[in-house]
Structure 1
């Protein structure tokens, strides 16, 4: 098999995975108000959170291969920054004026709920660039990131500010994704391995459903320090190391459900950014409406999940991209031109990129 063919298969597989993960994100956020009163929803929610954020960061790192450095890297960083400013402003303004939500820090230094991912993504890229500049090997980068992921939990601060906790907690998955080769996975992911992975993943769900996990959701969010989680022991970092093991296992097993062939999932996987940045509006409207007052049966819960699936497909439709691309994927060349002028460079370079 040629290198180009393998690269194409890898892109297809990870686009399929990315769509399934954004689907899990939407479902998880949609059912969150129900987890304290419906055991089935709590089990599904906890199962999703064992793998979906680590895998999403992993996939983000994988796709960063093609645009970490050079002009492409600077454009991506600029775009992430502009996206963050736009949606931090939009969501905070809506919370204060339309939704009337209290108890949320409205500050550019405290990412708004789902926007932590943008803030952390920017930091992951900068951290990896720094590690590369220090001539660290991939294994050294991974070891350093794991150390920081454990040590950040000991800080006596609110981990949500600047998304500092999640940035370091999930950094190992970004670095692992960046250095990951699809070749190994393509050879390993046989039909038998897929079946075994699916069985283990379903088994993990059953363990959670039977109450055998005993894991506080805060550990899975990655935004809380050990002190906030109620663990002041000096060895609290060992809990996070163990959690990394669980997340790696859960993530690896979830890969069993990801198809390798190109399909509608692949095309939708190219537009997950639109689902990610827009689905928060849908979730907010659902939360302030009386909708959840009427969901008290398994059938109603399943209908909610089906609605989340449908809305994920709707938000990943090409028309949504056409209508919203100016704010979802804003043009950033003007930022790079300003940078060149500020540094005394020529803007002519940008015209030929």
Structure 2
């Protein structure tokens, strides 16, 4: 998979092609997942805090779009080849089944909610992303063959925003309304990332983010934050139907602008947290249990946590927690659920068998 490195980086690269991960993307994934965890920790705290609500709104406008764009970028080569389909099942579908079941049981017994049923058709809390990623990747060959994939994806998202009849099955509203970001990632090339990774862009991003924070502070009492979740049609938010397509386009533009600012400040070199970028899906799915445990057991009810110092401590605590959940020891413990091999479930690919036979014959010839 080509990665957006400068010509000098390519000259300095000493490892074999395909063996080196691009530090920029691992850094971006780690920082995005930290922002996701911080945003979730703010939900029970923001209450009447207009400042925290404004920061929350700005973060929610770009953290998932950034993550989804990267997911789309690294899905560009996906096709229906058997080995890639196996990885899609074991790396996305199986974790969805496991964590949807685990979250449902956690809510039933942790929140004393006997009515909470285990339903794979109704994703609860964080698992919607796995459903969306599975559907998006399955449709990747279609988007790669369309002449104008991004306008079509935006049209699909706008259609979803005016269709409350879609319902909650598979959280299809989010699947459709976040689709343009995934398709944009499919369309992106290394040079597009070079455009935002410049000193000029880093400087320009400062007043842009400042203006976004000021606008968010102004909009807090005037705008429904639920628009940023992309899980409802306009009519379900008590808005005229025509505001759905308008908000899809407006928020797509705002999200791209802030995502570009985010990418501009992502370090390009290897950092202490770079290796954690490979485990961000672990951090994403596991930190939700901490957030919900705080809700179920009243951890966020202490009044001092709703003051600036308490909010800061909670933010730091959840940033540290999601960092820990991305580390190799945690990944080894939960690999059985996140990356099961499941060789027993699949037939051997003929091409794979041929490669193994060729390798054995070559080894015998060399011996």
Same fold (TM over 0.5): yes
Within the candidate set 117, 140, 146, 1:136 is matched to: 146
Q: 2: CA distance between counterparts of 1:17 and 1:2? A: 21
Which residue of structure 2 lines up, in the alignment, with residue 91 of structure 1? 103
2:34 to 23, 38, 41: 23
| 1:89 Cα deviation from its structure 2 partner | 0.8
Q: Which runs of 5+ in 2 are unaligned?
A: 1-6, 360-367
**What TM-score, normalized to structure 2?**
0.85
Q: 2:308 aligned to 294, 298, 305, which one?
A: 298
Question: How much has 1:270 moved relative to structure 2?
Answer: 0.9
Report what 2:200 is aligned to.
192
Per the alignment, residue 35 of structure 1 pairs with: 46
1:111 aligns to 2:123 (yes or no): yes
Per the TM alignment, residue 141 of structure 1 is displaced from its structure 2 partner at its CA by 1.2
* Residues 272-319 of structure 1 deviation map (CA, whole Å, 9 limit, x = unaligned): 011011111111111122321221211000000010111011111111
Q: Give distance in 1, aligned partners of 2:51 and 2:194.
A: 34
Aligned to 2:287: 279
Q: Distance in 2 between matches of 1:226 and 1:81?
A: 30
Residue 221 of structure 1 pairs with residue 233 of structure 2 = no
Which structure 2 residues correspond to residues 100-249 of structure 1 after superposition, within 5 A?
Answer: 100-101=112-113, 106-132=118-144, 135-137=145-147, 140-157=148-165, 159-211=167-219, 214-234=222-242, 236-249=244-257
The yes-or-no answer on 1:258 pairing with 2:269 is no
Q: 8 Å contact 1:92–1:112 — kept in the other structure? A: yes
| Number of the residue aligned with 1:323 | 333
Q: Deviations over 1:224-263 (max 9, x none)?
A: 0111111233464122211211111121122222111111
Moved more, 319-328 or 211-220: 211-220
Q: Deviations over 1:16-69 (max 9, x none)?
A: 111111001101111101222322321221111110111111111112235444
Query: TM-score under structure 1 normalisation?
Result: 0.88
What is the distance in 2 between the residues matched to 1:146 and 1:104? 34
Aligned length, in residue pairs:
344
Deviation at 1:100, TM superposition (A): 2.1
**For residues 104 and 351 of structure 1, do their structure 2 counterparts lie closer, same or farther at Cα, with a shift above 3 Å needed?**
farther
